[in-house]
Amino acid sequence: MNTLKEDEKKNVVLHAEGVTQYFPIKNGFGKIVNNVKAVDGVNLDLYEGETYGLVGETGCGKSTFGRALIRLLEPTAGKIEIKDTDNFVDISHMKESELRRYRKDMQMVFQDPFTSLNPRKKVGQILMEVLEIHNIGKKSDRTELTMKIMEKVGLRPQHFYRYPHQFSGGQRQRIGLARALILNPKLIVCDEPVSALDVSIQSQIINLLQDLQKNDKLTYLFIAHDMSVIKYISDRIGVMYLGHIVEEARNEELFTNTKHPYTQALLAAVPSIEVERKKERVVLEGELPSPIDPPTGCVYHTRCQYAKPICTQVAPVLKEVEKNHKVACLMYDKDLSQNPWEEQK
């Protein structure tokens, strides 16, 4: 578990181990009384040129995890290593000043194109600012570089002097994308980049993301709650529930050979445009429990239709049950001395 094999390490751009992010809850005297356990011990490897889709309901910690990975938050525990030419550097507790040289490699695209752009700056300024901060090129080169990147994401040169409010949602998302791309990053965390957009605009942005990836060997961590978008864009998919990844598999595998009961319920809930195929929906009862006081044992047992008494006591770990298919569920745990589901099979 601890170290990757040498040949595997070559392709990995980011290696995260046991990432944990707690947000303290303080009482009136500033004493920490409890924690919101947003992300609880998540392992993840991202490979060069792949798109890793992360799905889950609101409040499951997917955005927090994405932010922690590129150190917009400092994780409470765990290790995050990114590849720097040949060796790996642990950035999990690095100082801001040291971190700056690695920021170039990891960028983020935000969900809301309306609040993530400074309304008082022109598009040109927004993009050039990034180059100034990272001290790239002379002033004249910067303008040229900005123009180039704008062309790449489908913005016109005259847009350079416009303000964000003069653009539509889709155009603004292009600006956000240009801002992330201008530094030539290796990894982009896309936090629900298309969920605020209409379908016709959504497909434009998704196609753009894929074109850019092909040209530059970009790695995406694509966070979304829309199953059909995730299915279309991802190579591998991780399903998150209450701060844990409960299932991780290659795209096709996850949809055809769904293992975890939560993933099954999530897929069944997705509405489909095929009118004929009226599915028997497993309606997931109830809602996500509070991350302040998560259930003991398996976090999903309160809503799981297969739950047994053992699930309330033993917390499952994410284990490979088939090749490249990891599940965190006791039902598939072969090491369990007495598997109560065995008899049913």
Contacting positions for another protein (CB under 8 A): 57-58, 168-170, 198-204, 206-207, 210, 225-229, 231-233, 251, 255, 265-266, 268-276, 281, 283-284, 287
Among 301, 319, 318, 310, smallest CA distance to 337 is for 310
Q: Find how far residue 201's CA is from the centre of its chain.
A: 21
Minimum CB separation from another protein for residue 206, in Å?
Answer: 6
Minimum CB separation from another protein for residue 336, in Å?
Answer: 28
The smaller minimum CB distance to another protein, of residues 210 and 339, is found at 210
Minimum CB separation from another protein for residue 34, in Å?
Answer: 18
Question: What dihedral angle (degrees, nearest 10) is formed by the CA atoms of 44, 72, 36, 332?
Answer: -10
Structure tokens at 109: 């695209």
The smaller minimum CB distance to another protein, of residues 216 and 235, is found at 235
The smaller minimum CB distance to another protein, of residues 11 and 203, is found at 203
* 202 contacts: CB under 8 Å, gap ≥ 6: 194, 229
Minimum CB separation from another protein for residue 232, in Å?
Answer: 4
The smaller minimum CB distance to another protein, of residues 57 and 129, is found at 57
The smaller minimum CB distance to another protein, of residues 62 and 103, is found at 62
The smaller minimum CB distance to another protein, of residues 219 and 234, is found at 234
Residue 228 to residue 232: CA distance in whole angstroms: 6
Q: Which helix (H) or strand (E) holds 254?
A: helix 251-256
* DSSP letter string, 151-207: HHTT--GGGGG--GGGS-HHHHHHHHHHHHHTT--SEEEEESTTTTS-HHHHHHHHH
Minimum CB separation from another protein for residue 164, in Å?
Answer: 16
Minimum CB separation from another protein for residue 3, in Å?
Answer: 33
Q: Is 138 exposed, middle or buried (0-12, 13-18, 19+ CB in 10 A)?
A: exposed
